[in-house]
Amino acid sequence: MVSLSSVFGILGILVAGVLFLSPVTTIRTIVRNKNTLKFSQLPYLAQIVESSFWTLWSLTVPNRSEMLINNIIGVSFMSIYVIVFLYFVDKKNRAKAYLHVGVALILINTGLVVYLSVPQSTASLFLSVAAVVLNVVKYASPLSVAKLVIQTKSVQYMPLPLTLACLACSVLWGMYGILLNDYWIMIPNVAGVVCGVLQVLLWCYYHFASTVESDVDGGAQTVAATMATKGTKISTLEVGVVVPDDVA
């Protein structure tokens, strides 16, 4: 019989798969233009390093097959994206791109050496701490986009479907950790839930605020257009708040 933790793990794999596929649009743009343009490979490399540490950690702890499968999938997809990126990167940025890959490989090999050469309990602790730190940083990184949303008062840089998918992924893996009583899994995903909820609230606030503002601006423009057709002179400063007759 499949355990409840396995159910949440399987659901987590499916939702994470959607997130792993989300860069496909970017990769298609790179291939179509035969250039990496302004895109960066750093998010993909960061995910490779994080997933590599989670993969190695999963091998040190019993009954973490869902975590193992999920992160092997993550490493596979991100590696494909990085290979495409390296193929199309221009000569000007090629040295920097290979430097980034080199740093990522050093970090991964460090984890691999620890996994192979130190006692399992020590290796598990090192790998879990490293993976949790990387995971929390990943979940917190969209907060920079939140700052941009606040500055521009626009949600165009924070797509709601992707934000909801990240939140759902955190919830599912968080429940997986709770059911297994595994704090290493719980901690980063609680952080992910908090960051995800904050982003959704921010999206709702600025989305509806911009909608209301658009409606007011549209109404003002309609009033101005109507009065103009009747030959009434009106300045732009006079068009703003439409006062009902009974109040005026």
**pLDDT single digits (tens) 29-49:** 999 999 998 888 998 999 999
Distance, CA of 132 to CA of 18 (rounded, Å): 21
- The whole-number pLDDT of residue 142 equals 67
Distance, CA of 168 to CA of 11 (rounded, Å): 10
What angle, 0 to 180 degrees and rounded to 10, lies between the N-to-C axes of helices 183-229 and 120-140?
10
Residue pointed to by tokens 């430097």: 99
Residue pointed to by tokens 């995800």: 196
191 DSSP assignment: H
pTM above 0.85, yes or no: no
167 DSSP assignment: H
- The whole-number pLDDT of residue 212 equals 57
52 DSSP assignment: H
Distance, CA of 166 to CA of 178 (rounded, Å): 18
- The whole-number pLDDT of residue 2 equals 77
- The whole-number pLDDT of residue 18 equals 93
208 Cβ contact partners less than 8 Å away, ≥ 6 residues apart? none
Residue spans of the domains in the chain: they are 4-204
Among candidates 80, 78, 85, 83, which has minimal Cα distance to 36?
Answer: 85
- The whole-number pLDDT of residue 38 equals 85
Distance, CA of 174 to CA of 150 (rounded, Å): 28
- The whole-number pLDDT of residue 238 equals 34
pLDDT tens-digit readout, 133-171: 998 888 777 667 777 788 888 877 778 888 899 999 999
Question: What token pair was written down for 219?
Answer: 């109404």
CA 213 to each of CA 34, 123, 218, 224, 239: distance values in angstroms, whole numbers, following the listed order? 41, 55, 8, 17, 14
Distance, CA of 184 to CA of 156 (rounded, Å): 34
Q: Which residues of the chain have pLDDT under 70?
A: 142-143, 210-248
At residue 153, what are phi and psi to the nearest 5 degrees?
55, 35
173 Cβ contact partners less than 8 Å away, ≥ 6 residues apart? 8, 9, 12, 16, 185, 189, 192
Distance, CA of 203 to CA of 161 (rounded, Å): 11
- The whole-number pLDDT of residue 236 equals 34
